């Protein structure tokens, strides 16, 4: 019964209607925090390129006020942060720089026009300004 109901739904309704926030997997090693699934996070938010990689690391460095570095697909933060703090930051990044403020979909990319960075949404076509960074 449920199966049949599921199959009869229009295709669009099943097509990534709800964006699932990727979860950062981090652990503390000595005085550092290592986010080990950096690559998976970037893939999940369609930001798997060098520029986006650096942007996300820069964001983490600024928000944690530590030196953040990329090392073999991991982010190394120069301080101790709980899993909760790391995920909170990731969520804030995605909300600010990935999700379209109009339709809340993650099908966006950052473009630069006259030195100003803007977020262009592929799903609804909205163009939004990005604060900071
Ligand atoms: Zn949109």
Over the chain (133 residues), the average pLDDT of each successive run of 10 is 57 61 96 96 91 92 96 94 97 94 91 87 94 67
User: Ligand 1 mean position to 40 CA, how many Å?
Assistant: 23
15: in domain? no
How far is the centre of ligand 1, averaged over its atoms, from the C-alpha of 76 (Å)? 32
pLDDT at residue 3, rounded to an integer:
61
CATH code at position 82: 3.30.70.3150
On whether residue 4 sits in a domain, the answer given is: no
For residues 67 and 128, state if they share a domain.
Answer: no
Predicted local confidence at residue 1, as pLDDT: 57
- Residue 78 Cα to ligand 1 midpoint, Å, equals 35
| Cα(119) to centroid(ligand 1), Å | 9
- Is 17 within the bounds of a domain? no
pLDDT at 113: 81
The reply to whether 29 falls in a domain is yes
Residue 52 Cα, ligand 1 centroid: separation in angstroms?
Answer: 19
In a domain, 60, yes or no: yes
User: What is the spatial order of strands in the sheet that 127-129 belongs to?
Assistant: 108-113, 116-121, 127-129
Are 49 and 29 within one domain?
yes
Q: Are residues 91 and 32 part of one domain?
A: yes
Q: Which pTM value belongs to this model?
A: 0.82
Query: What pLDDT is attached to residue 132?
Result: 65
Measure 128 CA to ligand 1 centroid, in angstroms.
Answer: 9
| Closest C-alpha to 60, from 42, 40, 36, 77 | 77
pLDDT at 90: 97
Measured CA to CA in angstroms, residue 84 lies from 19, 24, 89, 96, 108 at distances of 20, 9, 9, 18, 26
Domain count of the fold of the chain: 2
How far does residue 1's CA lie from ligand 1's centre (Å)? 34
Do residues 57 and 77 share a domain? yes
User: How far does the centroid of ligand 1 lie from the alpha carbon of residue 48, in Å?
Assistant: 20
Predicted pLDDT of residue 15: 52
Ligand 1 centroid distance, CA of 114 (Å): 22
Judge if 104 and 93 occupy the same domain.
no
**Residue 16: per-residue pLDDT:** 52
List all residues 6 or more positions away from 86 whose beta carbon is below 8 Å from its beta carbon: 24, 26, 33, 35, 77
Q: Residue 68: give the domain boundaries.
A: 24-98
């Amino acid at each position: 019964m449920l199966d049949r109901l599921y199959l009869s739904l229009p295709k669009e309704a099943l097509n990534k209607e709800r964006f699932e926030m990727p979860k950062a997997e981090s652990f503390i090693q000595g005085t550092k925090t290592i986010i080990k699934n950096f690559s998976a996070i970037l893939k999940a938010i369609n930001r798997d390129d060098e520029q986006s990689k650096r942007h996300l690391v820069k964001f983490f460095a600024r928000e944690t006020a530590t030196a953040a570095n990329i090392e073999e697909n991991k982010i190394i933060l120069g301080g101790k942060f709980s899993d909760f703090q790391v995920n909170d930051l990731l969520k804030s990044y995605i909300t600010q720089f990935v999700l379209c403020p109009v339709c809340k979909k993650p099908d966006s990319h950052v473009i630069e026009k006259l030195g100003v960075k803007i977020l262009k949404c592929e799903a609804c076509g909205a163009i939004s300004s990005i604060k900071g960074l």
